[in-house]
Amino acid sequence: MKLGYLSFFFLAVLLFCFGCYYYDPFFSDDSLISLRYAQRFIEGKGLTWNDGHPVEGYSNLLWVLGVSALGKLGIDLILAARILGILCSLGTLGTILYYCKGQNINKEPVFLALLLLVTTPCFTVWAIGGLEQPLYTFLLTLTLIEVSKIINGNSFKTIYLLSLWLGLLALTRPDGFLFTILTSGFLLVTLGRKKEQFITIGLATAVIPTIFLLGQLSFRYNFYGELVPNTALVKVKVTIHHILRGGFYNFKAFWGTLLLSGLGVASLYYLVQQKKLFGYYLLLVITAWIGYVTSVGGDIFPAFRHYYVVLILFVFAIIFGFQYVKKINLQSKKVSFIIIILLIANIFIQSKITDNKNAVDERWEFKGIKLGEILKETFPHQTLIAVTSAGCIPYSSELPAIDMLGLNDYYIPRHPPKNFGNGALAHELGDANYVVKRNPDIMIFHVGDEPNFNIGEQMKANKFFKKDYVKVKTKAGGLEYTIFFNKYGKNTGIKKNGNTLTIPGYFFNASSEDICTFSGHQLIKTMDKGKTYTLSVDPILQGNWTVQRVTGKNIDIKTRISYQEGHLSISITPNNKMSLESIVLERE
């Protein structure tokens, strides 16, 4: 190939930018959980998701701190996460090229491996997706380069850089310490025969990274009172169900990235066949990571997020192992032409794979962000919401919240259901009785849907939920949401003041098709002429209740109020189409 390293870098960046543009504006809900922690950290509230007992509902400490640093400069946090992801992704490309340029490595396998990487959606989706994968794989890339220097170049000059990268990996994700165990163990066994080298390797690859880990454990214990993050309690339970699910996840990921993964396996085979230590190291790390991902049940996010690590390892396998594949000459024009055709075909095929298409289709987070903004504008700042989508709505609303799936809640993960480990990954937990006792003003399933997951099924059977919460269909800016309002909630419910009751209009229902509209910082009930809208309230003192005041537009109604067995029943029949904000009743 006549293409130079710098020219290739610009070509790779161009393809990378095209991929980011294609998948924009994908941004995962869990990213917004991290951003809520960053948001509150910037505000001086610590690494917390809520006031009260702090929990560690994030699993990406270094990422949250990095986003917080950009946010402190005044950068919008979603943009900050994208900037950090893109910079780390470009850093991965740049460092590989810079390292390989200075080594006695044919540039053709390097260019091929990186072309395969930038045309694999996992690389571009997670550059803009808001989670820590770009930082994680960038640090892993730096780790692999240092290990290569030690194994392939027998150079220990920069081994303490390896200490830094391994330590930062441990701070980026809890499973990052796995690379310390694997790297330290491998280097000590294969290169630590001399006492001096054994001490150097042990100090650099075991002791120093462990100090990083112990520092985080100390912070976790002192701040959260725990040694294990909440994320592990919610997501990790090794069962046959999760192992099968995780195995299928890796199987799908391999076939979904077949060109890169297949070439990576072939190159790794030849590297091991030549008895190259670096090939054994790559094989060890790939095997351990796939085993780990299998045991925890895989992942739920688009574009094979947890397979990203394997893809980077395959890139290094191709760079160092493809030279031993004697049957293929990359300098041949015919082979180059075939590779170009395969790359074009790969881009097309990748766009048709369901797990990649999900990154194009998944836009519900932005619907949730909009709902959160509306709730923030409409209701008091202390309105307590209960959600199953713990990222978009809490982040944009900034309201106190209950995470009904338990990721950001102290109680729920410590009281799992009996069948935990046999359901949908990260969506198995839930305790309806606990949530209802917290008396949230509003419950929202997904981003305004019917009750779902295990917690949703529990709510449908919960007598307090059925009695106290009213399903309200709402509309705002062309978007519709189904929200459950607590009739007796402190901030959005019926207000009792002496002998008066102030009842928001959205509690009255005539049919399942009724719509309330968010307008002018209020939620207003639209009522049709001739329909009868009813509401039952309890417990209420007996007496002669009458309508004192009605607020809204085009108000002209007939009302009927009755008292039976402690329940106050109110019915409203409009004489024309009208909008009801609230009705005030008075007991004479």
Q: Which two tokens stand for residue 194?
A: 């001399």
What per-residue confidence (pLDDT) applies to 566? 77
SS3 181: helix
Residue that has been written with the tokens 């299998």 in this structure = 294
pLDDT of residue 456: 96
Helix, strand, coil share of the chain (percent; to 5): 55, 15, 30
Question: What is the pTM (predicted TM-score) of this model?
Answer: 0.94
* C-alpha closest to that of 506 among 498, 496, 495, 494: 494
Residue 325 pLDDT: 81
pLDDT along the chain (588 residues), means of 10: 85 96 96 98 97 95 98 98 98 97 90 95 97 98 97 91 98 97 97 90 97 97 95 93 96 94 95 96 98 96 97 97 79 77 84 92 96 97 97 98 97 93 91 97 97 95 96 94 96 92 94 89 94 88 87 94 86 95 92
Burial of 11 by CB count in 10 Å (0-12 exposed, 13-18 middle, 19+ buried)?
Answer: middle
Q: Using CA atoms in the order 220, 179, 93, 68, what is the torsion angle rounded to 10 degrees?
A: 0
Residue 331 is predicted with a pLDDT of 67
* pLDDT at residue 183 in the model: 98
- In angstroms, what CA-CA distances link 44 with 197, 491, 506? 45, 26, 36
CB 489 within 8 A of CB 440: yes
> What pLDDT was estimated at residue 475?
95
Residues 439/464, Cβ–Cβ less than 8 Å: no
